[in-house]
Amino acid sequence: MLGASGFAGAELLRLLHGHPAADAVFLGARDVAGQRVGALYPHLAPYGDRIFEPNDALDATLVDAVFLALPAGESSRLVPGLAEVGCRVVDIGADFRLPAEDYQAWYGFEHTEPAWLAKAAYGLTELFRDQIAGATVVANPGCYPTPVVLGLAPLLREGLVEDRVVVDGKSGISGAGKKLTWDAHFAALDGTVRAYKVGRHQHTPEMERALALATGSAPSVTFVPHLVPTVRGIVTTSYAAAKADVGTLRDALSRAYREEPFVRVLEAGQTPDPKRLAGTNVCELSADVDEHSGTAVVIGAIDNLGKGAAGQAVQNLNVLFGLDETTGLSTIGVYP
């Protein structure tokens, strides 16, 4: 694992400790290389005496798969070398989620390995598992796109909603990563809800592309994310003009995910709640229709470090190696 010292890396270690077929052989980091895992994350006691090693010290010939949890622009430079020695890669970062021409506009860098973008499978497992199974590189989805795409794809595919979508997203601060900034400071975050990156959040084109891949449509997404004063959890509320009644929408979601262990379609009157999903790889979904305006309202919730990052990465690893997708993953949250 490269980037093991971030929040997603720490959650991966927690999950891998309970995985019967995977072992964390190498723990790479940059700023904390040379430090003990237990000094940074005391809760990871089974790994407490392990040392974070420099990312570039990995001998990829000794491992079967590599998780990359690196800043945007770094994974793409490493993938060709990893693939050359037979490693399969799950990239938790952003480097394989979009077409090459989108990276400068949305992430601020020129993609160095555009040929690999066509080879990478988009890792929203429930919708793309056949492509994932045969892939060398899996692009783990962003946290916000995961509940949005899972909630809208069945409805767009069946023509039950229009393809102009407005998404309101709310995330806990762990989604911003471990680095301390003023916006992530307790004094700035506590007691408020704050929109950010309005009209320019990098998950906007990812939502559009993933929905297009899953449905064959060409959706337009307006996305406004917000930070809320909590650590874990994401809630997304998607609005689109309804072309069917609420029962038809709920039936479509239920049919799409009735066999999926990590997608839970809620009954009428229930709404998704990220608090009860903490520590799980589950996405909760609900659908309603505002009869006054004729608007479909699709709500999704996840643990952003679970189904939004590390949990989904383990789910994709399981698919890559032909294991049961639930191996090492929980569907029961830590509550209250």
257-312 pLDDT tens trace:
999 999 999 999 999 999 999 999 999 999 999 999 999 999 999 999 999 999 99
Tokens of 325: 């997708």
Domain range list for the chain:
7-141+307-320, 145-303
DSSP string, 99-143: -GGGHHHHHSS--S-HHHHTTPEE--HHHHHHHHHT-SEEEPPPT
Cα 61 from Cα 325, distance rounded (Å): 26
What is the chain's Cα-based Rg? Answer: 19
Asked if 114 and 80 touch (Cβ cutoff 8 Å), the reply is no
What pLDDT does 81 receive?
97
Other beta carbons within 10 angstroms of residue 272's beta carbon come to 26
> How high does pLDDT run on average in the chain?
97
The reply to whether CATH 1.10.3720.10 applies to domain 7-141+307-320 is: no
Question: What does DSSP assign to residue 309?
Answer: I
What pLDDT does 177 receive?
87
191 pLDDT exceeds 90? yes
226 pLDDT exceeds 90? yes
CATH placement of domain 145-303: 3.30.360.10
Give the active site residues.
143
Q: Can you tell me the mean pLDDT for 3-17?
A: 97
What pLDDT does 179 receive?
84
Q: What is the phi/psi pair of residue 29, to 5°?
A: -155, 175
Q: Can you tell me the mean pLDDT for 211-235?
A: 97
Cα 198 from Cα 59, distance rounded (Å): 41
Cα 154 from Cα 280, distance rounded (Å): 23
User: pLDDT digits over 127-186, tens only?
Assistant: 999 999 999 999 999 999 999 999 999 999 999 999 999 999 999 999 988 888 888 899
Cα 50 from Cα 210, distance rounded (Å): 38
